[in-house]
């Protein structure tokens, strides 16, 4: 690979998602967003193609991006698609993104393939690694589980349940390369629909983290592994709870063990 594919991505999302209907499904139809390690809008068409191929997939077609959008894939960043097309998927109209419209914001087929954008990749056969989840319960597994996860993984699981419900995360198995600050491999949990706000905690090692309960109806899990040393991986279950999102202190819980009820915009850990 001629350059380091980067895996941080910006997913902007309006938390007020109560108004649209989605088909329950487990993956964003194999589509995901990538940006360069050096930041937003740094990839030429050839580089964007290389990023997707490096990960075993290819650039998503317009139809694949639209299929993903229909099940909740919403990213506020223009990226290359197959055949030199550029655009981005908007689910919830907002003033700051997508010109107040929903649908694929389509910049068309670019004649100049040296322009720099992000990338939309498609990889239906990817290891179970991320996606958009709207079911009332699910068990996430690290990629390749029960085998050890591989190096250089990056997975985002976005959970969005019905408005008014909360998400209860339970760690069933957990074994991630251990180091004191979890700099190598880690799982991060966010009490929001992106990895920008609502940071709850970063986890590594083989101690089972406590349960976590969201404040609202969305949550994001991000798993990242570096270039060396792997471990057994994890299984994490979520179930929905019919509790008003604004419920306060949450001292009473039905789960066993300690539970972290997130009580504000930024969770407690």
Q: How far is the CB of 136 from ligand NAG (least distance, A)?
A: 23
For residue 146, cis peptide bond before it (omega within 30 degrees of 0): yes
148 binds Ca ion (CB under 5 A): no
- 259 phi and psi, to 5 degrees? -135, 135
| 116 vs 127 by CB, closer to ligand NAG | 116
Q: 123 vs 50, 55, 208, CA distance in Å?
A: 13, 8, 31
The two structure tokens encoding residue 44: 């030429």
Q: How far is the CB of 44 from ligand NAG (least distance, A)?
A: 8
Which of ligand NAG, Ca ion, none sits in contact with 226, Cβ below 5 to 8 A by type?
Ca ion
Which of Ca ion, ligand NAG, none sits in contact with 252, Cβ below 5 to 8 A by type?
ligand NAG
Q: How far is the CB of 149 from Ca ion (least distance, A)?
A: 9
Q: How far is the CB of 244 from ligand NAG (least distance, A)?
A: 12
| 229 vs 268 by CB, closer to Ca ion | 229
177 binds Ca ion (CB under 5 A): yes
Cβ partners under 8 Å of residue 64, min gap 6:
29, 30, 31, 122
Cβ partners under 8 Å of residue 250, min gap 6:
213, 243, 261, 263
Query: What are the residues facing 90 on neighbouring strands?
Result: 103
Which of ligand NAG, Ca ion, none sits in contact with 115, Cβ below 5 to 8 A by type?
ligand NAG
Q: 131 vs 12, 68, 96, CA distance in Å?
A: 15, 10, 24
Residues that bind ligand NAG (CB under 6 A): 112, 114-115, 251-252
CA distance 154 to 185: 10
User: From the CB of residue 228, how many other CB atoms can be counted at a distance below 10 Å?
Assistant: 10
- 145 phi and psi, to 5 degrees? -50, 140
184 binds Ca ion (CB under 5 A): yes
Which of ligand NAG, Ca ion, none sits in contact with 229, Cβ below 5 to 8 A by type?
Ca ion
Stretch that binds Ca ion, among 40-48, 50-58, 184-192, 193-201 (CB under 5 A): 184-192
> Quick check: helix, strand or coil at residue 66?
helix
For the chain, helix, strand, coil in percent to 5 are: 10, 35, 55
Q: How far is the CB of 176 from Ca ion (least distance, A)?
A: 8
| 6 vs 253 by CB, closer to ligand NAG | 253
| 8 vs 42 by CB, closer to ligand NAG | 42
Q: How far is the CB of 160 from Ca ion (least distance, A)?
A: 29
229 binds Ca ion (CB under 5 A): yes
CA distance 92 to 66: 14
Which of ligand NAG, Ca ion, none sits in contact with 217, Cβ below 5 to 8 A by type?
none
Which of Ca ion, ligand NAG, none sits in contact with 153, Cβ below 5 to 8 A by type?
none
Judged by the rule CB under 5 A, the positions of this chain that interact with Ca ion are 177, 184-185, 225-226, 229
């Amino acid at each position: 690979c001629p350059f380091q594919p980067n895996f941080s991505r910006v997913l902007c999302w309006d938390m007020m998602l109560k108004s649209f209907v989605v088909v329950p499904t487990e993956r964003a139809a194999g589509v995901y967003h990538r940006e360069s390690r050096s930041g937003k809008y740094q990839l030429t068409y050839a580089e964007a193609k290389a990023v997707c191929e490096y990960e075993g997939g290819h650039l998503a077609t317009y139809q694949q991006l639209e299929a993903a959008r229909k099940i909740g894939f919403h990213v506020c960043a223009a990226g290359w698609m197959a055949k030199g097309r550029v655009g981005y998927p908007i689910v919830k109209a907002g003033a700051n993104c997508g010109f107040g419209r929903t649908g694929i914001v389509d910049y068309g087929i670019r004649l100049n393939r040296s322009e720099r954008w992000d990338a939309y990749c498609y990889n239906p056969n990817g290891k179970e690694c991320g996606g958009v989840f709207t079911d009332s319960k699910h068990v996430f597994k690290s990629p390749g589980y029960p085998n050890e996860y591989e190096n250089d993984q990056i997975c985002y699981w976005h959970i969005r349940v019905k408005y008014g419900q909360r998400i209860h995360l339970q760690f069933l198995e957990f074994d991630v390369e251990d180091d004191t600050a979890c700099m190598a491999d880690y799982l991060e949990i966010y009490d929001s629909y992106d990895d920008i706000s609502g940071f709850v905690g970063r986890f590594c090692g083989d101690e089972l983290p406590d349960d976590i309960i969201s404040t609202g109806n969305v949550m994001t899990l991000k798993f990242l592994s570096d270039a060396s040393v792997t471990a057994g991986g994890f299984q994490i279950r979520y179930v929905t709870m019919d509790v008003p999102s604004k419920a306060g202190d949450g001292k009473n819980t039905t789960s066993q063990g300690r539970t972290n009820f997130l009580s504000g915009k930024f969770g407690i850990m």
